[in-house]
């Protein structure tokens, strides 16, 4: 499964409501981490595997617990280690490719152009010739 990062805007005016929202969201299967972000502390950042953003929103909306809930962002999360490894592999592959392309030594190699082709046409030799 792919890790997903989901940001949900929820009306959470008090610390008690924030704790309640975090408890509800953390109880959903597949959730790895939950945090509160934003200047107004009105956004939940949820990271998990196989987590559905709509089911999270419905969980928070259910029975008029938090009223208006808005899904702001859903994106795949890549681990930093994997990204660094992929970059290193790409750089190494590019270096190898450059090394394979340049088969000449360190000094410039000048190739002489081939001369244009030419044809020689000889008249057929006849056995009879009058002088």
Query: Percent of the chain, pLDDT > 90?
Result: 21
pTM over 0.85? The answer is no
Give the model confidence (pLDDT) of 82-91 as tens digits: 778 888 899 8
Residue 100 is encoded by which pair of tokens? 């394979």
Residue-level pLDDT at 62? 82
Contact 35, 45 (CB under 8 A): yes
pLDDT in tens, 28-51: 889 999 999 988 888 999 999 989
How many angstroms separate the CA atoms of 42 and 25, rounded? Answer: 14
Query: How many Cα atoms are found within 13 Å in the side-chain-facing hemisphere of 49?
Result: 4
In the chain, what are the domains? 3-76 (3.30.70.100)
What would the pLDDT profile of 66-122 be if each residue is shown by its tens digit?
888 999 999 988 777 877 888 889 988 888 777 666 555 566 667 788 888 888 877
Calpha distance 1→53 (Å, rounded): 15
């Amino acid at each position: 499964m792919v890790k997903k990062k989901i940001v949900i805007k929820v009306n959470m005016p008090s610390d008690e409501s924030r704790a309640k929202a975090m408890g509800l969201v953390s109880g959903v299967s597949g959730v790895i981490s939950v945090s509160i972000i934003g200047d107004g502390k009105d956004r939940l950042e949820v990271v998990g595997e196989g987590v559905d953003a709509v089911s999270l929103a419905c969980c928070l909306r259910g029975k008029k617990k938090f009223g208006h809930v808005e899904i702001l962002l859903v994106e795949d999360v890549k681990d930093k280690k994997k990204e660094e490894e992929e970059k290193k592999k790409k750089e190494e592959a590019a270096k190898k490719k450059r090394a394979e392309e340049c088969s000449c030594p360190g000094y410039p190699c000048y190739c002489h152009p081939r001369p244009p082709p030419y044809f020689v046409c000889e008249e057929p030799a006849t056995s009879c010739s009058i002088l």
